[in-house]
Amino acid sequence: MTTQPDRPDPSTPGAGWLVQLTGPDRPGITADLMTTLDLLDAEVQDVEQVLVRGMLTLAVAISEPHDHDALRSTLQHLASQYDLRLDLSPIPASSGRRPQVDAVTVLGHGFETPLSAAELAAVAGGVVAAGGNVDRVVRLARYPVYAYEFRVSGADPLVLRTRLGQAAAAHRLDVALQPAGLERRAKRLVVLDVDSTLIQDEVIELLADEAGCLDEVRAVTERAMAGELDFEAALRERVRRLAGLDVAALERARARVRLTPGARTFVRTLTRLGYCVGIVSGGFTHFTDALAEELGLDHAVANELELVDGVLTGEVLGGVVDRARKAELLQQFADAEGIPLSQTVAVGDGANDLDMIAAAGLGVAFNARPVVQQAADTTVNVPYLDAVLFVLGVTRDEVEAADESA
C-alpha cells in the first residue's frame, strides 16, 4: 500500500512581506490593493482590516515578491492616491505550530463609564505575564456596558486565568476567558435561574409580603441562597408560612414582578439567533408560566403550590426544584433539543444554581453570591442581563441588527 504524503497546511505561510496601509478610510481601497497585488503576481497569505472611528488599518501578508522595487513603488503610488501611509516589511517563516487561541471578554461598569486605559492595560498585562500575545482587540459594545474582546494566543491557560482574575479584582471588572473557536459560538441552549436573575425579585418574598411574614421568610431565603440551609427544607418552611393566601394575593404578587434590565433584549436576541431558552426556578409555576408566555421561552419548570378552593394550603406538590434538580432539568432540556451539554449555558446567582452552572458548557454567575462567583466559569456583575450576550461573543451591532430585521 502506498502512503500518501501529508498535505501542507495552507494556513501556515512561509517567509514573505507584510503590506500595511493606514489612514482615513475611503471606498475602493481594499479592491484597488488586491487588484494591484494580483498584477504584481503576489500571493496573498493573510488579510486583516480594522476600522476605528473612520481610520483604516489594512494589513496583507504576501509571498516573497519577484521584484521588490516594483512592489514598493507600485504600492507607494497606490497609497499616495488615497492619502495613506504605507509600511512594507519582511516577515519570518512560520513554525507551523498553532498556538492556543483564547477569547478574553472584558465588561466595564456601565455605558456612562468607558473602560480606562489603565483597566485595558491591566488585562493586556495579564496576557503578557502568562506568556501570551494580544493578537486583536475588538469593541463588542458601548451599551449597556462597554465591552471588549481580546484575541489572545500562546498564553498558559492556568496562568492566564490567574492573572486575569487579579486584574479583574484590582479594577472591579468582569473578565471572561474561553477558548476561541467553533465551540464558543456553537452554544445553543441557555437556561436561567429566575429569582434575582431573570427577574429582580424573590417571588416567595413577594408572597410573604402579602402574608405579613416578610422578615421571617427573607431571613430563611438569605441563609438558603448562601448555602447554609438545605434548600428543600428551607422552601417548605417558608411555604408553610403562606398558608391561607388566596388566588387574588398570588395575582397581586405576580403583578409586582420586575424583569431584570435587559432581560427582554437578552431573550429576544437569543431567540432570533436560533438559541433555545429555558428557565428553572426554586420559585413557583404561577410566576414562571406567566414569564414563559410573556417572553416566548422554550422551557419552564418550577415548584407547584397546592391550592384548595382557591387558597394556599402551605404545601408544595410533588418534588422540589432544588440544586440537583436544576442540573437534571438542564440535561433534560438539552436532550429534548438534541444539544450536548458542552453547547449549553447556565446563568444563576445562588447556591441552588451551583450544580447546573457546573454541568453547563459555560456557567455564568450573574450578580451572584460569593460561593457562586468562585465556582462559575465567568461572572457578570453589572445589573444588565443582556451583558451576558457579550460573553457569548454577540456584539451590540448584532443585537440591533436582529431588532431591525424582525
**Grid cell at residue 364:** 455564568
> What CA–CA distance (Å, rounded) separates 342 from 5?
35
Measured CA to CA, the distance from residue 49 to residue 392 in angstroms comes to 23
The contacts found for 227-230 with CB under 8 angstroms, 24 or more apart, are: 227/351, 227/354, 227/369, 227/371
Report yes or no: 134 and 152 within 8 Å, Cβ to Cβ: yes
Q: What are the catalytic residues? A: 193, 195
Picking from 128, 122, 108, the residue whose alpha carbon sits closest to that of residue 166 is 122
Q: Are 319 and 309 in contact (CB under 8 A)?
A: no
Is the bond leading into 27 cis (omega within 30 degrees of zero)?
Answer: no
Q: Which residues contact residue 264 at a Cβ distance below 8 angstroms, ignoring those fewer than 6 apart?
A: 295
Distance CA 261, CA 296 (A): 17
Helix (H, G, I), strand (E, B) or coil at 387: helix
Residue listed under C-alpha cell 504524503: 5
With beta carbons less than 8 A apart as the criterion, state whether 401 and 279 touch. no
Contact yes or no for 269/305 (Cβ under 8 A) = no
Cβ neighbour number for residue 195 with a 10 Å cutoff: 26
CA-based nearest residue to 114, from 137, 143, 152: 143
d(CA 233, CA 395): 42
Which residue type sits at 244? G
